Every structure is written in C-alpha cells, then in structure tokens.
Amino acid sequence: MANKQNNRNKNSNQNMTVEEAGRKGGEATSKTHGREFYEEIGRKGGEARSKQRDNQKDKN
C-alpha cells in the first residue's frame, strides 16, 4: 500500500514527488518575492474570506 501511495505522489518524469516539487516552488517564490508579497496576499485572502462569510450569513 505504501508503494502505491508513493507512486501516486510522483510526477510524470519520476524525479521528485509532488511534495518535493511544491516545496521547491515555494522556496523559489519566497526568494523572488519576499515577505511583503506574502503579507499582501494574506491580507487579500483574509478580506475575500471575510466577504464570503458575510454573504453566507446574509443568505441564512
């Protein structure tokens, strides 16, 4: 079973798992954009989620 799970996590070229690819991409983004980028997208995401909650409350 563990072997099947490991195979599902491999990408098509079989060089790294999806987890490894995600980590590598996140590290590259962090190096190119920096802290301010993450603060801004976090704020925007929080505002969007707040609006979603408000809209759900209005429907109930």
Q: Per residue in 31-45, pLDDT tens?
A: 999 999 999 999 999
Minimum mean pLDDT among 6-20, 29-43, 46-60: which range? 6-20
pLDDT single digits (tens) 24-33? 999 999 999 9
Write out the DSSP string of 3-59.
Answer: HHHHHHTB-TTSSSBHHHHHHHHHHHHHHHHHHHHHHHHHHHHHHHHHHHHHHHHHH
**pLDDT exceeds cutoff 50 at 1:** no
